[in-house]
Amino acid sequence: MDAAELDRLVEQIGEEILARAGRRAALPPDAEGLNIPDLVCPGCTQRCPQTCERKAKEIVKAGACRLSASDKLTGIDPAIASLIDHTLLRPEATRDDIVKVCREARKYGFASVCINPYWVPVVAAELAGSPVKVCTVIGFPLGATSTEAKVAETEAALRVGAQEIDMVQNVGALRSGDQDAVKSDIAAVVEVAHRAGAIVKVILETALLDDNQKVMASMLAKMAGADFVKTSTGFGPSGASAHDVELMRMAVGPEMGVKASGGIRTLDDVKKMAAAGASRIGASASVKIVEATTGKEQPVTSGY
């Protein structure tokens, strides 16, 4: 379709709308979109991409690379979707699984896709041109590798497209009272990441810490220059709790991010964590969570 044909199509749609405008009262009360034969946009609820496949295809053929469908089409709450790091960290995840979560992230507008470092190049390619960030994990899931190994792993991930780094703190060092080692471990990763324009989230693995240790770990992460503290890997004894998120938020104050992760599977879970102070959510049940804002929930599959 050339430009002249597209102009005629737009003119035709406009004429049809005007011609039908005086007849809306005669339409069924549930009429919407373009799903009524021979009628264009009676009672329009902005569902054209869903209900008029022919015109959508003609517009794409003319050169459009994307069609706009407002929240009246999807019903997804963008404020919820934009909180979520769509996560797939299962060791058995395949390339097809990874591509699927990338497509879901683009569709729903999640904050990032969080995957193991091996998959960073695939995710970077899949998310190219999208606002969804590429997130990966470092020193995962134990946090007990050397600082040098964490720095090397971070540098390698950044080279192939990582934009957010979720590193596991040295839990054993923290529990041993070696605060300098914990802080310097984080600071080394932060330096490398920030130099490349990436942000760092420090995973505390709160299930292994008492409340004093959670507060200390949060403060050390802040002192080391990290951007977020994060509750859990999803591989520990338990995941996020509102109590832990509250403690972490109190420790780091309002200017630093707090990410709740591990065991978050429902919209209610997200709301509880956000109310406790979380500014980011890590979840593998992301699609189910956002579909809950529309009343069309999907089955849950674990990403851990």
162 contacts 194 by C-beta, under 8 angstroms = no
What span, in angstroms and rounded, lies between the C-alpha atoms of 262 and 197?
Answer: 26
What span, in angstroms and rounded, lies between the C-alpha atoms of 281 and 258?
Answer: 9
DSSP 149-192: HHHHHHHHHHHTT--EEEEEP-HHHHHTT-HHHHHHHHHHHHHH
Residues 70/101/186/91 CA torsion (nearest 10 deg):
170
Take residue 198 and report the two structure tokens written for it: 């990436």
Q: 236 φ, ψ to 5°?
A: -85, -175
Supply angle C-alpha 273, 276, 281, rounded to 5: 30
Which of the residues 85, 133, 150, 166 is marked catalytic?
166
Which of the residues 133, 150, 214, 259 is marked catalytic?
259
Alpha-carbon distances, residue 11 vs 5, 17, 22, 249, 259 (angstroms): 10, 10, 18, 55, 50
Which of the residues 214, 222, 230, 288 is marked catalytic?
230
Active site includes 272? no
Take residue 240 and report the two structure tokens written for it: 């996020």
Active site includes 214? no
Active site includes 271? no
Closest CA to 213 of 185, 251, 240: 251
- The stretches of the chain forming alpha helices (DSSP H) are 3-21, 48-51, 53-61, 71-74, 78-81, 95-108, 120-126, 147-159, 171-175, 179-195, 211-223, 242-252, 267-276, 286-291
Residues annotated catalytic, as ranges: 166, 230, 259
